[in-house]
Structure 1
């Protein structure tokens, strides 16, 4: 969560070569990459992206123990979920896999802290009340840090990153649906990387 200000959140459908994409993102300054397990090509993309020097590749949209097992088998270096399941927290701990579960309320946050976590994905960030909601939610939990994801844009990311409790944001805007132009992606990623300066 401290390696870059933005973690690109990718839904890959096979239109872009995953190795070339990972190389582009690393070169632009965004080495931490989340490949969501929403498409048939996601696990293969994780395997191939792991060959890129400097890339830190994780699996997103991990919904079950079976999916986490597949992600680990593909070489994922971290896992992200939209919600919090104690079974996934325990499995990630047993497998020594960094894990970022999604939370949107105090109950989930308390459960996660009780399970030994202090890093969370705030999701869906904008529709859960935005910065004001996260600020209120984080107030009682002084050690908790967050990666807000969901609805954040290039224009709003800096406001999120200005918050003490926010270490990075998830960026689905880095690569738009159906986009294949790596030069355009590079410029967008480089601008996102500069948010941490």
Structure 2
């Protein structure tokens, strides 16, 4: 399956919800109640980053016990990460960047994927390879809304999920751009709420985020 086919084989990750929560899970036991809170709040696409030892178990638990969630693996940076994420039941893949080897592994997985970019040259290289949906990272540090607006003219065929430094106040500016399908963020997952396992608060913040589409 080529890149374009892989990205068109399933509904676009960019269109599942206006915001994709970017989740760092330290304890896999929190994965299911956290995912249920996010889904109840209207955010079905959940990116679990592969930054902790519990991440793959968390993906596996969400995939098995929260079928209404579309769980993906983030911080995918090696072909081995791709294989492990697929085995755990991930339904999409997200990387902060890409290499030819990583791109080939993501393409071969058959899952929708969002390789990361932060420059026009990286976007062009992906477009050459048939990939039109990407993560823009780190969004705020790499130029934010003005940057994405600027490249939308010459490269209208590229669509993005900006992630990195985006909050409740800045998200609407991104979502108002024609070349942005959704944004990634963590603001609906405040550390104190997670530490207290305050899933009702997470659900409330998720609902607020889900209503951001202009």
Once the 2 structures are TM-superposed, how far is the Cα of residue 185 of structure 1 from its aligned partner?
0.6
- 2:17 maps to which residue? 4
TM-score of the two chains, using structure 2 as the length reference: 0.88
RMSD of aligned C-alpha atoms?
1.3
1:115 to 113, 123, 129: 129
Answer yes or no: is the 8 Å Cα contact 2:93–2:114 preserved in 1: yes
Larger mean Cα displacement after TM superposition, 174-183 or 72-81 = 174-183
1:189 aligns to what SS in structure 2? helix
Q: Distance in 2 between the 1:138 and 1:16 partners?
A: 42
Answer yes or no: is the 8 Å Cα contact 1:4–1:193 preserved in 2: yes
- 1:157 maps to which residue? 171
Q: Does 1:190 align with 2:203?
A: no
Answer yes or no: is the 8 Å Cα contact 1:7–1:171 preserved in 2: yes
Q: Distance in 1 between the 2:191 and 2:101 partners?
A: 32
2:212 aligns to what SS in structure 1? helix
Relative to its length, the structure with more helix (as a share) is 2
TM-score of the two chains, using structure 1 as the length reference: 0.96
How many residue pairs were aligned?
A: 197
Answer yes or no: is the 8 Å Cα contact 1:18–1:48 preserved in 2: yes
* Unmatched runs of 5 consecutive residues or more in structure 2: 1-13
Give per-residue Cα distances to partners, 1:74-102, cap 9 Å, x unaligned. 11111100012222222222221111011
- 1:173 maps to which residue? 187
Q: Distance in 1 between the 2:117 and 2:61 partners?
A: 30
2:210 aligns to what SS in structure 1? helix
Answer yes or no: is the 8 Å Cα contact 2:28–2:55 preserved in 1: no
Once the 2 structures are TM-superposed, how far is the Cα of residue 16 of structure 1 from its aligned partner?
6.0
2:35 to 9, 22, 27: 22
1:151 aligns to what SS in structure 2? coil
Q: Distance in 2 between the 1:19 and 1:142 partners?
A: 38
- 2:44 maps to which residue? 31
- 2:7 maps to which residue? none
